[in-house]
């Protein structure tokens, strides 16, 4: 389809012997809008020009979603309701292009099998400093109704195995050979955040792949988006636990140092990675900048607790140490200004 006024193309897949209805919202170059931005009570005395805007739809991992039905509705004063003015389907980049009146609030509804809309549903299109429409991004996430249940595990096998050489092997098999498409997303999980490491796709019912260069001391997750002839569209996530944990690494280092240097009541790891760096900070800043040295020591204790087994007492004292250091810095500044 082709709109000559704005040179806008839209492509659709059509099947033989089917009937299709298409609706269009083609705003004129200049239209009358109320000064209230489309809200009730406007007088309809201002004029504005329709402008091209790009709408992008992404999933919870900020990847573009194709084949999303986007319905945009505008408040109409004569009916007192929001009425549909645009209906379109996102392309492979998760985008549609629409012509809307700037500064007029619209309602945006997103529909895609297996997903639900999250976040903003109302949008006021705005222009940038050059008069161009500012792109708007909307989000969807996988619907809980599409998370696979027992049926998946009866038909399929999906596992991940971590190895000491810093690699992870993921395998998938469908005993009924009904897989029509599968996408695998491998993440490293650390401090409640996830980092995407690899993406793999297949149309095979038996598939495996390696992810190399991983940190075997961290949790990894593999998310499977599966299109299946019987199960439909489902999402499965498996968790691969680390082969080693930071505490195990610390214990091994402590054992090695103890066997070489003998017992240390304070602990060799604490001595090397905690107390010595703190003393170095205090010495570097010196008596004249004791406050900064104390602040740095408190911050270092908190930072070190992420990697070594810092005693709980020290962790609890860290905020107070930082506070004392800040007070000393303030007092020193005031004395210098006298």
Domains and CATH numbers, the chain: 2-144 (2.60.40.10), 148-240 (2.60.40.10), 246-337 (no CATH)
**Cβ 64 vs Cβ 93: under 8 Å:** yes
Q: What is the mean pLDDT of residues 13-41?
A: 55
Instruction: Please state, in angstroms and rounded to a whole number, the distance separating the CA atoms of residues 148 and 1.
Output: 38
Q: How many CB atoms lie within 10 A of CB 120?
A: 11
Q: What is the mean pLDDT of residues 224-241?
A: 88
Instruction: Please state, in angstroms and rounded to a whole number, the distance separating the CA atoms of residues 75 and 220.
Output: 47
Q: Nearest-5° angle of CA 144, CA 114, CA 120?
A: 80
Both tokens of 36, joined, read 């209230």
Q: How far is CA 266 from CA 38, 190, 256, 301, 302, in A?
A: 70, 29, 15, 15, 18
0.85 cut: is pTM over it? Answer: no
Predicted confidence at residue 214, as pLDDT, reads 92
Predicted confidence at residue 34, as pLDDT, reads 46
Q: What is the mean pLDDT of residues 302-315?
A: 63
pLDDT at 284 over 90: no
Q: How many CB atoms lie within 10 A of CB 16?
A: 4
Predicted confidence at residue 248, as pLDDT, reads 52
Name the average pLDDT for the chain: 77
CA dihedral 285, 286, 287, 288 (to 10 degrees): -60
pLDDT at 31 over 50: no
**Alpha helices (H) in 128-267, listed in sequence order:** 150-155, 246-261
Q: In what order do the strands lie in the sheet with 206-212?
A: 156-163, 167-174, 206-212
Chain centroid to CA 119: how far?
Answer: 13
């Amino acid at each position: 389809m082709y709109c000559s006024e704005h040179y806008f193309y839209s492509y659709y897949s059509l099947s033989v012997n089917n009937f299709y209805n298409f609706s269009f919202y083609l705003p004129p170059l200049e239209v009358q809008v109320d000064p209230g931005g489309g809200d009730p009570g406007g007088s309809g005395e201002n004029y504005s020009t329709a402008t091209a805007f790009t709408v992008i739809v992404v999933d919870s991992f900020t990847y573009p979603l194709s084949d999303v039905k986007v319905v945009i509705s505008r408040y109409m004063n004569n009916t007192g309701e929001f009425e549909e003015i645009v209906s379109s389907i996102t392309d492979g980049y998760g985008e549609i292009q629409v012509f809307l009146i700037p500064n007029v609030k619209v309602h945006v509804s997103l529909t895609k099998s297996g997903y639900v809309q999250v976040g903003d549903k109302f949008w006021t299109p705005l222009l940038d400093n050059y008069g161009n429409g500012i792109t708007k991004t909307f989000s969807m996430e996988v619907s809980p109704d599409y998370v696979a249940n027992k049926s998946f595990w009866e038909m399929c096998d999906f596992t991940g195995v971590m190895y000491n050489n810093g690699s992870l092997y993921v395998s998938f098999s469908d005993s009924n050979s009904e897989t029509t498409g599968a996408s695998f997303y491998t993440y490293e999980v650390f401090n409640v955040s996830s980092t995407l490491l690899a993406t793999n796709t297949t149309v095979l019912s038996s598939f495996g792949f390696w992810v190399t260069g991983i940190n075997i001391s961290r949790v990894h997750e593999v998310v499977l988006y599966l299109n299946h002839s019987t199960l439909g569209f489902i999402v499965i996530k498996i968790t691969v636990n680390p082969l080693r944990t930071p505490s195990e690494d610390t214990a091994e280092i402590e054992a090695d140092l103890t066997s070489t240097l003998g017992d240390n009541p304070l602990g060799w790891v604490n001595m090397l990675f905690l107390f010595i760096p703190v003393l170095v900070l205090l010495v570097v800043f010196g008596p004249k900048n004791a406050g900064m040295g104390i602040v740095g020591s408190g911050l270092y204790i908190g930072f070190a607790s992420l990697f070594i087994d810092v005693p709980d007492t020290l962790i609890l004292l860290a905020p107070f140490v930082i506070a004392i250091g800040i007070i000393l810095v303030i007092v020193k500044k005031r004395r210098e200004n006298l």
